[in-house]
Amino acid sequence: MSGCFYGVGVGPGDPDLLTVKGLRILASVPVVLVPKRSAEDAGYAYGIVRGLLDPSRQEIVGLVFPMTRDFARLEGVWDAHVETVAGYLAAGRDCAFITEGDPFLYSTFIYIWERLRTRYPRYRTEVIPGVPSVTAAACRAGLPLANAGERIAILPAAYEAGAVS
């Protein structure tokens, strides 16, 4: 029997904002996959949940994702990490890929999840939503994002400097 690949949103930075389901999955999986900017980096998402994990019974695996917009370079990184994940799943080990905020909102998780589902459709995947920073920040500031018929939009300003005014 193969393992399941979980994408677990760990929220905006406060471990108390982790969902009950996210906490349950993180407590149960034998492998926790930690996205990192470099080999030396601990990983932001890991910093959020470090105290909730048990390294004596869980394998904590760092996956380096260079901070670049060079998608040709990133393709190779994503491909290599998918093979790492597939190896754990083939061995019957469940894996939780932790990501700050929500796995489906500007997350590196998306690239791994898409490739895994395309290349290895036999493996189960499950995405556990997390509290995104946009909603956490609005709550902390006491500023509702939308009410009644109002609309909101989330724009990736980091990729289009000067596009939002």
Confidence category of residue 164, pLDDT binned at 50, 70, 90: low
Q: How far is CA 22 from CA 19, 45, 130, 158, in A?
A: 5, 13, 8, 28
- And the tokens for 97? 């890929």
> Is 27 in a helix, a strand, or coil?
helix
pLDDT digits (tens, 9 = 90+) for 118-129: 999 999 999 999
Q: Average pLDDT of 98-105?
A: 96
Pairing of strands 31-36, 59-64: parallel
Domain with residue 62: its CATH number is: 3.40.1010.10
The pLDDT value given to residue 156: 75
pLDDT digits (tens, 9 = 90+) for 21-67: 999 999 999 999 999 999 999 999 999 999 999 999 999 999 999 98
- Has residue 11 got a pLDDT over 90? yes
Question: Is 165 part of a structural domain of the chain?
Answer: no
- And the tokens for 41? 């980096």
Q: Which residues are registered as beta bridge partners of 14?
A: none
Task: Classify residue 74 by burial, with Cβ atoms within 10 Å: 0-12, 13-18, 19+.
Answer: middle
The pLDDT value given to residue 155: 80
Of 40 and 155, the structure prediction assigns the larger pLDDT to 40
Contacts of 86 (CB under 8 A, 6+ apart): 116, 119, 120, 123
* Domains of the chain: total: 1
Q: How far is CA 3 from CA 43, 60, 69, 151, in A?
A: 24, 16, 32, 40
Question: Is 89 part of a structural domain of the chain?
Answer: yes
Residue whose pair of structure tokens reads 């904002």 in the numeric block: 17
Q: Average pLDDT of 78-92?
A: 98
The pLDDT value given to residue 162: 63
Q: Which domain holds residue 44?
A: 4-159
Question: Is 26 part of a structural domain of the chain?
Answer: yes
Q: What is the chain's length? A: 165
H/E stretch holding 28 reads helix 20-28
Q: Is the pTM of this model over 0.85?
A: yes
The pLDDT value given to residue 1: 86
Query: Over pLDDT 70: what percentage of the chain?
Result: 95
Question: Is 164 part of a structural domain of the chain?
Answer: no
